[in-house]
């Protein structure tokens, strides 16, 4: 069964520093992969998605992610962190059994130090 593992439940970086949030997945079929962001008391917002086109995917707010099949990874990066990036980030993968079902990781809380 497919699953998503997010390494690090909490990541803290300084403002202006590189953001790297790690995600590894397992899937028996070529997956579609997603990163969502959740701000306090708000719903999830799609940051970016990989749907078997370009392996480097650019999203909103300066974020990007690279699909690496050999490493079964889909890490999220941003070159320079901003205070407004502080939020919870979720990596997700489509289900093997149902393309409409999305499996989420447990999330990584990103904190930004001034």
Tell the smallest beta-carbon distance from residue 44 to another protein (Å): 4
Q: How far is the CB of 57 from another protein (least distance, A)?
A: 13
**Residue 76 in contact with residue 91, Cβ under 8 Å?**
yes
Beta-carbon contacts of residue 96 (< 8 Å; ≥ 6 apart): 1, 2, 27, 28, 29
* Residue from the set 76, 87, 103, 110 that interacts with another protein by CB under 8 A: 103
Which one among 20, 46, 60, 83 touches another protein, defined by CB under 8 A?
46
For residues 52-81, which are near another protein according to CB under 8 A?
Answer: none
Residue 9 or 12: the one with the smaller Cβ distance to another protein is 9
Cβ closer to another protein: 14 or 51? 51
Contacts of 34 (CB under 8 A, 6+ apart): 46, 47, 48, 49, 50, 91, 92, 93, 102
């Amino acid at each position: 069964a497919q699953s998503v593992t997010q390494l690090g439940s909490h990541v803290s970086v300084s403002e202006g520093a590189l953001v790297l949030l790690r995600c590894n997945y397992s899937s028996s079929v070529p997956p579609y992969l997603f990163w969502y962001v959740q701000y306090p008391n708000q719903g999830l917002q799609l940051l970016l998605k990989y749907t078997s086109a370009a392996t480097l995917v650019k999203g909103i707010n300066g974020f990007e992610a690279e699909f690496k099949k050999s490493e079964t990874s889909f890490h999220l990066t941003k070159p320079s962190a901003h205070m407004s990036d502080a939020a919870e980030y979720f990596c997700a993968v489509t289900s093997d059994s149902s393309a409409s079902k999305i499996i989420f990781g447990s999330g990584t809380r990103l904190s930004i130090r001034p």
